[in-house]
């Protein structure tokens, strides 16, 4: 494992990847107008996570971050599963020491979930099948989720004597609270889609055959919204989850000041006064 990656300051991470990343077929990026579709593409392995897949995700979201035409992202999986978690063959190969696994979790997984979470555009996770392990960190780092009826989530770490990773404890505890999060993790049972809906782990559930249609319809609706305001709303909400009320109010003021200067704010006010639908351009 390269010391350059392990010692890299996350703030400079994208600079490094601009020089070193290249596309690989474990992650597909397709752009349809102002919507980007990112697809995990190891269907025979239920999209289990390898080093290539992590690099592929970082490449895709780096590309999307720089593309001003893209206003919404859909993240999904190819085949029967969304993501089975880390590829167990990698762990079983003995190729990584516990120290290297730790450093990889902190840097690689950390930057994958942060690249999704910090993207200033809404990300919809279309969960097409089972998701487990580190795949849950990826799924829960997305802003919104829609699950196929037969899909499920499972915190399977406990079954192999491990703790959850890829930020999944952070996301889960904030979605369902400490006690429920602990229960789901230490019992390690499958959580069906409709139970995920009750637990607020997903926003919507739909028939599997209509999953991408529902996700695209949702994405197109969000693409008509003021993208800059959505991105800054994400930023404020994430700030609010970690800070007190006074600090959050101050942060809201900073983000509001930036939005007041935007084209879409001016268009929104003008449309309101003219009693018409606003035409936002995302800037």
pLDDT at 4: 25
DSSP 86: B
Q: Which residues of the chain have pLDDT under 70?
A: 1-23, 90-96
- Its sign, for the CA torsion 196, 202, 204, 205, is negative
Q: How many helices (H) and strands (E) does the chain have?
A: 14, 9
pLDDT at 1: 28
Reported as a single tens digit per residue, the pLDDT across 100-147 is: 777 777 778 889 999 999 999 999 999 999 999 999 999 999 999 999
pLDDT at 207: 97
Three-state DSSP at 206 gives strand
Q: How far apart are CA 183 and CA 160, in angstroms?
A: 16
Of 283, 133, 166, 142, the closest CA to residue 219 belongs to 142
Domains contained in the chain, CATH given? 3-223 (3.90.226.10), 227-273 (1.10.12)
């Amino acid at each position: 494992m390269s010391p350059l990656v392990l010692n890299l300051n996350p703030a400079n991470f994208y600079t490094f990847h601009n020089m070193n990343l290249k596309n690989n077929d474990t992650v597909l990026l397709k752009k349809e107008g102002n919507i980007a579709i990112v697809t995990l593409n190891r269907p025979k392995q239920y999209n289990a996570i390898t080093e290539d897949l992590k690099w592929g995700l970082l490449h895709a979201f780096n590309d999307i971050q720089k593309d001003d035409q893209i206003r919404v992202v859909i993240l999904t999986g190819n085949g029967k599963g969304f993501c089975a978690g880390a590829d167990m063959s990698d762990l079983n190969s003995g190729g990584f020491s516990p120290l290297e696994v730790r450093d990889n979790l902190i840097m690689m997984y950390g930057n994958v979930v942060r690249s999704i979470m910090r993207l200033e555009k809404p990300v919809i996770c279309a969960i097409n099948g089972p998701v487990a392990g580190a795949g849950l960190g990826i799924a829960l780092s997305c802003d919104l989720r829609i699950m196929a009826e037969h899909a499920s989530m499972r915190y399977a770490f406990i079954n192999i004597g491990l703790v959850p990773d890829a930020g999944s404890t952070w996301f889960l505890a904030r979605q369902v609270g400490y006690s429920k999060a602990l229960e789901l993790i230490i019992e390690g049972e499958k959580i069906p889609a409709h139970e995920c809906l009750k637990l607020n782990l997903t926003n919507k559930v739909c028939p599997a055959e209509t999953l991408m249609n529902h996700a695209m319809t949702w994405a197109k609706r969000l693409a008509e919204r003021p993208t800059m305001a959505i991105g800054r709303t994400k930023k404020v909400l994430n700030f609010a989850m970690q800070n007190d009320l006074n600090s959050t109010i101050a942060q809201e003021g900073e983000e509001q000041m930036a939005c007041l200067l935007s084209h879409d704010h001016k268009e929104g006010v003008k449309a309101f006064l003219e009693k018409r639908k606003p035409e936002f351009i995302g800037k």
